[in-house]
Amino acid sequence: MNTFLFFTGTYVLFAIWQSTLWLAVVWIFGRSFNRTPWKTHFLCVTGIFAATLTPLFSTLIDVAKIGVLNVSIPLWIRPEMPGLLHLAGMVLFVTVLLYGIVSSRKLMFHATPFPDRESQETLLRHSKSLRNVSLPILFTSPSVKSPTVWCWGLHPAVLLPESLAESLRDTQRDAVFLHEIAHIIRRDHLTSLLTRLCGAVLFWNPLYWLVLWQSDLAADQSCDLIVLAQGNIPPKQYSDTLLCLVTRESSRPILQFLSRKEKIMKRIEQISTFEQFSSIPSTAWTATVLLAALLLSVTLAFCQEGKTNTADGARMLEISKSDWYGKLDEKQKKYVQWDENHFAYVYNLKNYDVGDDRDEFEKRWVDELDKPEPGHPGTGTLSRYDEAIIGLATITSDKALKPLLKIAAEQVIKDNAHRHFATKALGILGDPAAIPELIPLVYHFNFNTRWEAQVSLVRLTGQNFGSDVKAWGEWYAANQEELGQDLPKFDPTPVDWSCGNSDPQLQYYCSPAGREEIDARFFSTPLREDNEVLRVDIPVVVRMEPANGATNVDAAVVKELRVTFDVDMDTKGYSWCGGGDTFPKTTGNPKWIDKRTCVLPVALESGRNYLLGINAPSFKNFKSQAGVPVDPVTYKFSTK
């Protein structure tokens, strides 16, 4: 749901300027085609479609990061909130639209076929005269206020107000019939439906409603010209028919400029000089407008931030010129290149240019880090928590050190993305008080955290001892007074980053051999031209229920097996492996209860030893959202 709101909110943020630009252009240019209303109608319909689709293209391109300009939405403009508001508005709009459709079908169900056979025959004759192949049926209803075309059935129907049908003279009846048939010929009912469906995403924009009104007016004016061009009805009689409709309209002064009455008056004004108007569409003009709209939509869609190549990008170029970067070894440099590119959506420092609002943003970010630590929203997105971590460091806030140290050095198994960002932020902040807390992080089980700790220590000290904890500790002890008398001492006692978790996989990745294996996977993979490599964080099992190796498990109480990982997982698959007598009897299909926890419904038996696997050499469907599979884990327990 969070991802959908982020996507929807991003659409809204693009639509604020792109849709408004489209609709404003259409509104201005549409009014210039006074003598060719069919052009105005086509322009309005095309503009509404473009205003709907261009932000969608932009959102998809933004997700793919293939834009061509260095323009992006600032990180502190949160897409989720406008996404939630827009989603609520969409639901309300679609509900009203569906209610209108259902009501119209009920209205037709209760409508009365026009009893006058002569009128029915006249309608069919006019339909043939305009070369309309869909012969409409004539109905009356007391629930409609003006003549309209109903096209939700197999055949189109002309629907007249009951009181109007009784008072129409022959010439007025002919005018109404011809006008409605012209709508059917032009397929106005389809364009009207589609433009109103676009309102599900453009409902919030006042220009949408203005352009929609202009489109409806132009469609009516185009039909008027088609009728008058037949020469069967004099303009004076046609105008009299419209005046008859005007007298039936109630006036609402506040909305007078968008009322049906105002629309009819504009149509009468056109009819008085109809010889000067053109009702014949031009294929060349239509094709030109469509092509121009397509080209402009694509151009606007690409007017956003592209995926930065950090090897050639300005930020990586700036980093490569810094003194601390020159002190890194080749592996550390490769990590920095990958890290800056892979998390460019977080590290784009121009997005933290707070200007004169520094105090406001500092307070917001400090308050955010005082809240309970959330889960990470997923690859390619940014949580408020991460924004606060990098933001406080970027503005070198004197309130940043304490919360950043707490996040980076806390001995818990939580979301390692926050720990990674906090470790980097401490290097950006530049406070030497972070040194003694960063030193133990160089052997953290999380790949990003331990390599970021090395880089941050180099930034803070100008020295490079890699992952040598002893060397870092000795240097700090020798230079502590020079760095500052109030700095805390370094505690050389080894930190248990497994937090006492006895899971064999986690214990292995906390060991030197496990860390070396993960490092080897990363550094043996060459960087692509865009400095990307596969994300190497291997998901780790942080909890099993019942616990791995547990004895005396109560078979009557345990109804499911549960495994929890340290990162967000691909919830489309799983691999509970095993078989035979040692594999528990299942009572249902495995399911993910959240992004990190998968359960297997079982019926355990007393006095049994169970053995199964989380993944296996040939089955690796337990994998992270980045596609990295869990290393096979043997899971065993026994029941009492």
Average pLDDT over the chain reads 79
More confident of the two residues 350 and 33 = 33
Q: Which pair of tokens denotes residue 469?
A: 């904890």
Return the closest-CA partner of residue 535 out of 335, 331, 299: 335
> Model confidence at 581, in pLDDT bands (50, 70, 90)?
confident
Is the confidence at residue 65, as pLDDT, over 60? no
- Please indicate, yes or no, if residue 264 is contained in any of the structural domains: yes
CA atoms within a 13 Å half-sphere pointing along the CA-CB vector of 149 = 28
Is the confidence at residue 103, as pLDDT, over 80? yes
Mark whether 477 and 547 lie in a shared domain: no
User: Phi and psi for 308 in degrees, rounded to 5?
Assistant: -70, 130
Q: Any residues with CB less than 8 A from the CB of 598 and at least 6 apart, and which?
A: 562, 563, 569, 571, 574, 590, 591, 592, 622
Cis peptide before 546 (omega within 30 of 0): yes
**What is the model's pLDDT at position 254?**
46
Query: What percentage of the chain exceeds 70 in pLDDT?
Result: 78
Is the confidence at residue 196, as pLDDT, over 50? yes
pLDDT in tens, 118-169: 666 666 666 666 665 556 667 788 888 778 877 665 567 778 787 776 677 7
- Please indicate, yes or no, if residue 530 is contained in any of the structural domains: no
**What is the model's pLDDT at position 630?**
87
**What is the model's pLDDT at position 553?**
92
> Model confidence at 603, in pLDDT bands (50, 70, 90)?
very high
Interval 286-305 mean pLDDT: 77
The count of domains in the chain is 3
Residue that finishes a domain, picked among 272, 300, 328: 300
Residue that finishes a domain, picked among 470, 493, 523: 523
pLDDT in tens, 546-571: 988 899 999 999 999 999 988 888 88
Mark whether 327 and 246 lie in a shared domain: no
Mark whether 512 and 583 lie in a shared domain: no
Mark whether 419 and 558 lie in a shared domain: no
Mark whether 564 and 618 lie in a shared domain: yes
More confident of the two residues 508 and 590 = 590
> Model confidence at 190, in pLDDT bands (50, 70, 90)?
confident
Tell me which range, 248-262, 462-476, 531-545, is most confidently predicted by mean pLDDT. 462-476
**What is the model's pLDDT at position 532?**
45
Mark whether 117 and 180 lie in a shared domain: yes
pLDDT in tens, 399-420: 999 999 988 887 766 556 788 8
- Please indicate, yes or no, if residue 306 is contained in any of the structural domains: no
Is the confidence at residue 545, as pLDDT, over 50? yes
Amino acid letter at 383?
S
Determine the Cα–Cα distance for residues 108 and 153; give it in Å rounded to an integer: 10
pLDDT in tens, 416-464: 678 888 999 999 898 999 999 999 999 988 888 899 999 999 999 999 9
**Are 401 and 460 contacting, i.e. CB atoms less than 8 angstroms apart?**
no
**What is the model's pLDDT at position 127?**
64
- Please indicate, yes or no, if residue 464 is contained in any of the structural domains: yes
Mark whether 200 and 344 lie in a shared domain: no
Q: Write out 259-311 in H/E/C secondary structure.
A: CHHHHHHHHHHHHCCHHHCCCCCCHHHHHHHHHHHHHHHHHHHCCCEECCCCC
Residue 588 sits in a domain whose CATH number is 2.60.40.1220
Query: What percentage of the chain exceeds 90 in pLDDT?
Result: 19
Mark whether 241 and 369 lie in a shared domain: no
**What is the model's pLDDT at position 379?**
47
Is the confidence at residue 602, as pLDDT, over 90? yes
Interval 492-500 mean pLDDT: 83
- Please indicate, yes or no, if residue 158 is contained in any of the structural domains: yes
Q: Return contacts of 466-469, CB within 8 angstroms, 24+ apart.
A: 466/329, 466/332, 466/442, 467/442, 467/443, 469/439, 469/440, 469/442, 469/443
Domain residue limits at 617? 541-638
More confident of the two residues 278 and 136 = 136
Mark whether 265 and 372 lie in a shared domain: no
**What is the model's pLDDT at position 5?**
58
Is the confidence at residue 72, as pLDDT, over 60? no
Is the confidence at residue 584, as pLDDT, over 70? yes
pLDDT in tens, 13-31: 788 888 898 899 988 888 7
**CA 301 vs CA 201, 288, 309, 376: distances in Å:** 17, 20, 20, 28
Mark whether 286 and 337 lie in a shared domain: no
Interval 374-393 mean pLDDT: 70
pLDDT in tens, 221-231: 888 888 888 77
Residue that finishes a domain, picked among 494, 523, 552: 523
**Are 596 and 565 contacting, i.e. CB atoms less than 8 angstroms apart?**
yes
- Please indicate, yes or no, if residue 628 is contained in any of the structural domains: yes
Interval 161-188 mean pLDDT: 77
**What is the model's pLDDT at position 112?**
80
Mark whether 288 and 228 lie in a shared domain: yes
- CA 139 to chain centroid: 45
Mark whether 204 and 276 lie in a shared domain: yes
- Please indicate, yes or no, if residue 305 is contained in any of the structural domains: no
- Please indicate, yes or no, if residue 533 is contained in any of the structural domains: no
574: burial class by Cβ within 10 Å (0-12, 13-18, 19+)? buried
> Model confidence at 76, in pLDDT bands (50, 70, 90)?
very low
Interval 510-534 mean pLDDT: 70
Is the confidence at residue 468, as pLDDT, over 90? yes
**What is the model's pLDDT at position 250?**
57
**What is the model's pLDDT at position 1?**
46
Determine the Cα–Cα distance for residues 418 and 377; give it in Å rounded to an integer: 11
More confident of the two residues 133 and 53 = 53
